[in-house]
Amino acid sequence: MLDLADKEGLRLLAALVADLRKIAPDVDLLLVGAAARDVLLSYAHGIALARATHDVDLAFAIANWSGFEALWGRLVESGLFKEWDRIPHGLRHHSGVRLDLIPFGGVERPDGTIAWPPEYAEVMEVFGYAEAQASAIEVRLPDNQILPVVALPMLALLKVLAWADRHLREPRKDAADLFAILRNYLDTGEDERLYSEAAHLLDDPAFDYRVAGAWLTGYDARVLIERHSHRSEHIVDRLTSVLVRESDIDGPLSLVSEASGIDAEYARRLLAAFLSGFSGKKMP
C-alpha cells in the first residue's frame, strides 16, 4: 500500500473515486494514463514533471457493451457526472475534473482493441490492461479512498503500445509520458537495486544513471508480464517489435523524435536500454 492520504493535490481525485464507488461499488477501477504517472512520480516521490494533467483515465474490466452502457447511464443519472461531448467515453465530474472511462476484458476484440459503439468507428488499444490491473499498486488517497494504480513498468509498456496505435493522430503525449518514466524510474525508490539486482550496469564503462533506470524499467515490465499474463508471448512480441524498430539507429526513430526536451541520441539510448532490460540482455 502506497499511502498518499496527506497529499492535498489528490483530494479531487479522491472525491471522484468516492462518487464512482457510491454509484457503482461493484466496479474494480484502475488508474492509468498521465494521472497514474503524476501519482507515482510527482505525488509519491516529488519528481517535477513538465506536463501535469487534470484529466483522469480509469480502466475497468467488463463483460460486454451493455454492461458499460448501464454503468454510463447510472453515472449520468446520478447528477454527479455529465457527458463530455469531445469523446464518446468521456464524462465531467461535478468538480470539473474530466474523466475517461476505458473498458477492457469482455469487450476486447482479438487484436486487443475495443471499438466504441454505436458506430464502432473509433478504435482504441487496450492490449495489456488486464495485466496492468493484475499487477497494480494500491494507493491510499485522501479521505481513505483506496485506488489501484498501474505500476510504472506496466505504464511504460502501455505507453509504447498506445504510441504505436495513435501517434499519428495524437503525437507527443504518449512519448512524453514514456520518457518521463524511463528517465526517473530509479528515483522512485529503485536505485538500491542497482547494487542488489543489476550490478552489471555499474560495471559498464559507459554507465549512465538514467539509462540504467530505463533498463530496470524494462526488466521489471517483463517480470510483471511473465507473472500476471496468460498471453505473455503475444505481449512480448508486440512490444519488442515496436522497440526494435524505434531504437534502431538506422530505423525511423519516430518515437525518439517525439521526446521533446531530450537529445535524440540520448532518447534512443533510453529506448534501447528499456528493450534490453525487457529482453533479458545486459545492455545493447
The predicted model scores a pTM of 0.95
**Banded pLDDT at 21 (limits 50, 70, 90):** very high
Q: What is the pLDDT of residue 84?
A: 80
Give residue for cell 540520448.
Answer: 266
150, 179, 214 - which closes a domain: 150
Please say whether the beta carbons of 136 and 151 come within 8 A. Answer: yes
Residues 125 and 174 in one domain: no
Q: Is residue 284 part of a domain?
A: no
Examine the domain organization and report whether 97 and 114 are in the same domain: yes
Query: Over 90: is that where the pLDDT of 173 sits?
Result: no
Q: Which three cell numbers stand for residue 114?
A: 475495443
**Domain-ending residue, one of 150, 176, 200:** 150
Asked whether residue 86 falls in the same domain as residue 202, the answer is no
Picking from 87, 119, 150, the residue at the C-terminal end of a domain is 150
Residue with cell 521489471: 220
Q: What is the mean pLDDT of residues 121-127?
A: 90
Cα R_g (the chain), whole angstroms: 19
Average model confidence (pLDDT) across the chain: 94
- Could you tell me the CA-to-CA distances from 248 to 26, 31, 66, 108, 276 in Å, in that order? 45, 32, 44, 31, 12
Q: Report pLDDT for 54.
A: 74
For residue 176, is it within any domain? yes
Q: Is residue 251 domain-shared with residue 135, that is, in the same domain? A: no
| Residues 229, 230, 235, 236, CA torsion sign | positive
CA 143/CA 145 separation, integer angstroms: 6
Of 192, 160, 195, give the one whose Cα is nearest residue 175. 160
CA-closest candidate to residue 58, choices 92, 31, 86: 31
pLDDT of residue 119: 86
Of 135, 175, 195, give the one whose Cα is nearest residue 259: 175
User: Residue 230 domain-assigned?
Assistant: yes
> Backbone phi, then psi, for 131, in 5-degree steps?
-70, -35
Q: Average the pLDDT over each of 28-37, 140-149, 165-174, 182-191 and give the range with the smallest value.
A: 165-174
Q: 261: pLDDT confidence band, cut at 50, 70 and 90?
A: confident
Q: Round to the nearest angstrom and report the end-to-end CA distance of the chain.
A: 35
Q: Are residues 142 and 195 in the same domain?
A: no
How many structural domains is the chain composed of?
Answer: 2
Residue 268 — pLDDT band, cuts 50, 70, 90?
very high
pLDDT at 236 over 90: yes
Q: Give the confidence band of 216 by pLDDT, cuts at 50, 70, 90.
A: very high
pLDDT for residue 53 is more than 80: no
Concatenated DSSP letters for the chain?
-EE-TT-GGGHHHHHHHHHHHHH-TT---EEEHHHHHIIIIIIHH----S----EEEEEEEES-HHHHHHHHHHHHHTSSEEE-TTSTTEEEETTS-EEEEEEEETT--TTSEEE-TTT---EEE-TTHHHHHHTPEEEEEGGGEEEEE--HHHHHHHHHHHHHHHTTTS-SHHHHHHHHHHHHGGGGTTTTHHHHT-HHHHT-TT--HHHHHHHHHHHHHHHHHHHH-S-HHHHHHHHHHHHHHHH-TTS--HHHHT-TTS-HHHHHHHHHHHHHHHHT-S--
Mean pLDDT of 238-242: 97
Which CATH number covers residue 127?
3.30.460
80-104 pLDDT tens trace: 999 886 677 899 999 999 999 999 9
pLDDT in tens, 150-160: 999 999 999 99
Residue-level length of the chain: 284
Domain that holds residue 190: 157-279
DSSP output for 139-162 = EEEGGGEEEEE--HHHHHHHHHHH
C-alpha cell at 11: 483530494
